[in-house]
Amino acid sequence: MLLNVLRALLPCILLLGTACTSQQASLTDGPPQHLVQSAREFFEAYTRDLRAHNRGRLAQYYDPNGAIIVIAGQRRFYSRAALDTFYRGAWTAPAYFAWDTLAFDSLSSDLVLVTGTFKWLVPERPDTARYIYASILQAVDSGLAIRLEHETPAPRPR
């Protein structure tokens, strides 16, 4: 009798075990241990791919659920798919790119504020443009992702 009960319950136990395992696999394992240092490394990799014009990798730096991007005062939400399409298509890679400054401030256990300025040279233009930059990185799985990015042309020196 007990053997028959165990045989009847075995499929339920296996199904429950599978459900628990797949649920655990989809949970985040928390923010990186050294959040600000991880943010610095994140931007080093982002900069390398930007300079190398790695179109297929650039969207991967943004939150999987999408990001708010503000450029010259124009705010839009972009899904990760839209960002991937943009970087692989209409995006014009810079002829030159460099950060002037970058500062990293931990806002919480899973958010980092990044502020600074950068230089960007549009191909075939004689002058490098300067921008004021801000972004918020959010912990996603065991890494970071851009959740908000803000770029504003810097005023020209007089």
Tens-digit pLDDT profile for residues 102-122: 999 999 999 999 999 999 999
Q: CA-to-CA distance for 153 and 41, rounded, in angstroms?
A: 25
For the entire predicted model, the pTM comes to 0.77
Tokens of 96: 């030159």
Task: Give Cα 20 distance to the centre of its chain.
Answer: 28
List of the chain residues with pLDDT < 50: 1-28
- Judge: domain 30-153, CATH 3.10.450.50: yes
Tens-digit pLDDT profile for residues 20-43: 333 333 334 555 668 999 999 999
Q: CA-to-CA distance for 68 and 8, rounded, in angstroms?
A: 52
Whether 145 and 63 have beta carbons less than 8 Å apart is answered as yes
